[in-house]
Structure 1
Amino acid sequence: MPYTFSLDDVAFLRSPEGERAVGACEGLELTGESKLTDVATARRAVGERYAAVLETVLLRRKAHRKLDGAARWLFTEDALQQATPTAVAEYRAHRLAGRDVHDVTCSIGADLVWLARSASRCVGSDLDAVRLAMASHNCSVEAVDPLLARADALAPVTRDCVVVADPARRDVAGRRTWRPRDFMPALDELTSVYAGADLVVKTAPGIDPAAVPWAGELELISLDGQVREACLWSEGLASASRRATVLRSDGTRWTVTDTDPDDATVAEPGEWIIDPDGAVVRAGLVRHYAARHGLWQLDERIAYLSGDEPPPGVRAFRVLEFEGYSEKTLRTTLRRHQVGRVEILVRGLDIDPNLLRRRLKPHGPNEASVVLTRIGRSPMAFFCRAERVPAR
């Protein structure tokens, strides 16, 4: 079970004594095998606060790849899981630069830090006193000074601000499509309380657009190829109805919206197959993306694209040969090319890539990628070589 921090824990961890205690435990392995030894060592070095210190060391290690500055921040386990990755938080704050902003669910401050850097004035509030104390520490570490208040997101304490909210998702096993009542606070209540205000809500990628009719813009955001979230922008902040934003840790950023041309055609396979970023697919902007890069669809109902030159900065699949798909013919192709390591991508066919790979029993010194899809009603197999296209 995750450790439950108290306000006294946070006060200790923020003190010079607490910083020294954390430093004294940073070298511990903190693995399942070393747990008993590590706890004993921490007890001797730190005293009664050892559990809070060890949890802080563990959470900082987990946060390292997600949040800049994690080596000095304070977290709870749940807050870290929901925290917005730095690249996404920075991007969203950029869209709100120069505005007065109130983050009404600021938690430990992952979004608040960036909002405070770009906003004209910034307020952060949360009902959880411990998270709010951690946010105060984290903002101090990052040299920003927003106004902080303990307040219920459903009881407004500011006026004339852009309201930013990140409702917690209820733990619903197997949920892929999220409903307004699946959030805390519920989206319907949140939008009712802030009716008429400029509102930005971070939500799950599986949100049904029909369930949030107030949203002027639905934005899907991916980071390093993984769709991280949907962001809902009210009418006063929207500049498109649908947007896909693709971010990379190296600072690369691009976006496509439904205001872009969508005059992509459907045609025969070209030299390359391109699997668009998940944000593009989820936002329903495959044709817009294709039109931008001179690509075309293999089938109007399938998200795979083809072209003679792939977009810059993507991982694309050079088509070496293709044929109608059957498991037998694919097995023959892999044996002919002596393929022992095979990546299998599937769209539009009821095929489990992992199960198929085991049945194919690939063997040999080479590797390849296989794209399985359908064109019309015909299942097709594309034998490919994956290549990373340089960014321009």
Structure 2
Amino acid sequence: MSYRFSLADVAYLRSEAGRAASAAADRLPLTPASRLADVRAVRQEAGAEHAAAVLETAVLRRRAAVRLESAEGWLLTDAALQQATATPVARHRASRLVGRDVHDVTCSIGADLIVVAKVARRTIGSDMDEVRLAMARHNCAVAGVSPALVRADALHPVTRDAVVVADPARRDEAGRRQWRPRDLAPPLDDLVAAHPGRDVVVKCAPGLDMAAVPWADEIEVVSLGGQVREAALWTGGLATSGVRRRATVLGTDGPLWTITDAESDDCPVREPGEWLIDPDGAVVRAGLVRQYAARHGLGQLDPRIAYLTGDTPPPGVRAFRVLERGRYTEKALRQTLRRHDVGRLEILARGVDVDPDALRRRLRPSGVNEASVVLTRIGSAPMAFLCTSHRIPA
């Protein structure tokens, strides 16, 4: 159970004594092995009354450094950090808001608000949680931005013309993740209905059912570093004309490439070629596999499966050069691995009911070579492709 911060905790952490205690805690190892010694050190520095808040803050700052580029000195809660957007993703989303008046109606601790405030004309942040709002005020000051901050319900507008930015909570009070739009807080349909005629962008989990948000003019699925991070729902003037679905692949310095449903999806189903390609997860989640294949001259192995094939892999992807292929049975695969003297084995599966970890344990590969096995289905036939993995230069 994570620590529950109070307004008194925030006030202490912002005080001179609290800042000194937090700075000392930031220098501790903060490992499982050092926990008892860390607790003693924090108690000695901050006193028993404030030790838990100081120690939790130090732990959260350490975790935040992986996701947020400039969170040094910030105040955070565990739940807020879990939902905070990785900075490159937040910066990409904010690129459509340059020069606009923006109201972040679920600003939480201010992570997205700070990124927006650096590019927007005017910004306002609001939240119902007084503790998070106090943390946002502190974090904005640390980051050198000064948006207006007010306590307000996202479903009861306090602005009229600004772009609405929202990031509804995706976990219930027990910490269980919620997927249905109506189960978010606030519910998506209610949120959009509360701001009629406004340009809106809503950050959602990438597993969102696109059919459940017909009001979204454009749905953008974003990945960073090979991981799908979010779905952004754009409406009105923020959306791209003629585009309903978009996949964007980011690097740490900005977009690497993007693809939309406005592009051709003229993609054949073909016999396996020299290479197999597993498209970026953003492409798959956005339902743009055929457009991606058409752009790069690839074909599908099966119209229902996202694996693609061709004789030349696209730039900047991980691709699999096929060494051998055949109908999949466990016995046949074991024999293939022995023929190729495979000991280090990666197993990827899509469209077949196989647990890769359990299968690897049963296969017990013991050779000296390294390989990847792609298990999939072509028509009704389960297939196995023995491959070598390659990172294709961008």
Q: Deviations over 1:144-178 (max 9, x none)?
A: 11111111111111111110111101349998982
Match of 2:271 in 1: 268
Change (3 A) 1:332 1:172: farther
Say which SS state the counterpart of residue 125 (structure 1) adopts.
strand
Partner letter of residue 345 of structure 2?
V
* Per-residue Cα deviation, 1:326-378 (whole angstroms, up to 9, x for no partner): 11111111111111111111111111111111111111221100111122222
1:6-45 paired onto structure 2 within 5 Å: 6-45=6-45
After TM superposition, the structure 1 = structure 2 runs for residues 177-196 of structure 1, keeping only pairs within 5 Å, are: 178-196=179-197
Query: Tell me, what secondary structure is at the counterpart of 1:318?
Result: strand
CA contact under 8 A between 1:121 and 1:146: conserved in structure 2?
yes
> How many Å separate the matches in 1 of 2:139 and 2:320?
43
Q: Is 1:377 equivalent to 2:388 in the alignment? A: no
Distance 1:374 1:288 in 2: 21
Coordinate RMSD, CA, aligned: 1.8
1:113 maps to 114
Match of 1:335? 338
Gaps of 5+ in 1: none
2:256 is the counterpart of 1:253: yes
Structure 2 unpaired stretches of 5+: none
Q: Decide whether aligned partners of structure 1 residues 217 and 358 sit closer, same or farther in structure 2, where only a CA change above 3 A counts.
A: same
1:285-324 correspondence runs (5 A): 285-324=288-327
Following the alignment from structure 1 to structure 2, what is the Cα–Cα distance between the partners of residues 52 and 204? 29
* TM-score with structure 2 setting the length: 0.95
Structure-to-structure mapping, 1:156-171, within 5 angstroms:
156-171=157-172
Distance in 2 (alpha carbons) for counterparts of 1:378 and 1:271:
20
Aligned to 2:54: 53
Alignment of 1:358 with 2:364, yes or no, is no
Query: Helix, strand or coil for the counterpart of 2:118?
Result: helix
CA contact (8 A) 1:176 1:206 kept: no
Q: 1:17 to 1:87 in 2, by over 3 A?
A: same
Which residue pairs with 2:82 in the alignment? 81
Q: Tell me, in whole angstroms, the C-alpha distance in 2 between the residues paired with 1:190 and 1:250.
A: 32
Tell me the alpha carbon deviations over residues 279-334 of structure 1, each in whole angstroms, 9 at most, x when there is no partner.
11111100111111121111111100112221111111111121222111111111
Structure 1 contact 87–249 (Cα < 8 Å) conserved: yes
Letter in 1 for 2:171: R
Give 1:242's aligned residue.
Answer: 245
Taking the aligned partners of 1:303 and 1:176, their CA distance within structure 2 comes to 26
SS in 1 for 2:72: helix
What is the DSSP-based 3-state SS (H/G/I as helix, E as strand, rest coil) of the residue aligned with 1:350?
coil
**What SS does the corresponding residue of 2:145 show, helix, strand or coil?**
coil
Quickly say closer, same or farther: Cα 1:254–1:378, change in 2 above 3 A. same
Instruction: Please state how far the C-alpha of 1:33 moved relative to its aligned partner.
Output: 3.9
Aligned length: 391
2:108–2:129 CA contact under 8 A, matched in 1: yes
Structure 2 CA distance for partners of 1:346 and 1:199, relative to 1, 3 Å: same
Counterpart amino acid of 1:321? E
Structure 1 residues 259 and 176, CA, compared in 2 at 3 Å: closer, same or farther? farther
Higher mean C-alpha displacement, 245-254 vs 85-94: 245-254
User: What residue number does 2:210 align with?
Assistant: 209
Q: In structure 1, give the amino acid aligned to 2:270.
A: A
Q: Which secondary structure state, in structure 1, belongs to the residue aligned with residue 37 of structure 2?
A: helix
Map of 2:391 onto structure 1 = 388
How far apart, CA to CA, are the structure 2 residues paired with 1:108 and 1:292?
41
The letter for the 2-side match of 1:322 is R
Is 2:233 aligned against 1:232?
Answer: yes
Contact 1:108 1:134 in 2 (8 A): yes
Q: Distance in 1 between matches of 2:52 and 2:110?
A: 23
Greater CA deviation, 317-326 or 381-390? 317-326
- CA distance in 2: counterparts of 1:254 and 1:196, whole angstroms: 31
Aligned partners of 2:9, 2:133: CA distance in 1, in Å?
Answer: 13
Q: Distance in 2 between matches of 1:369 and 1:262?
A: 29
Aligned-partner Cα distance in 2 for 1:176–1:50 = 30
**SS in structure 2 of the partner of residue 71 of structure 1:** coil
Normalised by the length of structure 1, the TM-score is: 0.95
Q: For residue 107 of structure 2, give the secondary structure of its aligned residue in structure 1.
A: coil
Which residue in the other structure is 1:140 paired with?
141
Report SS of the residue matched to 2:103. strand
The CA deviation at 1:250 is 5.1
Residues 285 and 332 of structure 1: CA distance in aligned 2, closer, same or farther (over 3 Å): same
- Percent identity, aligned pairs only, is 66
Measure, in 2, the Cα distance between the counterparts of 1:27 and 1:172: 33
The answer to whether the Cα contact below 8 Å between 2:92 and 2:255 also exists between their aligned partners in 1 is no
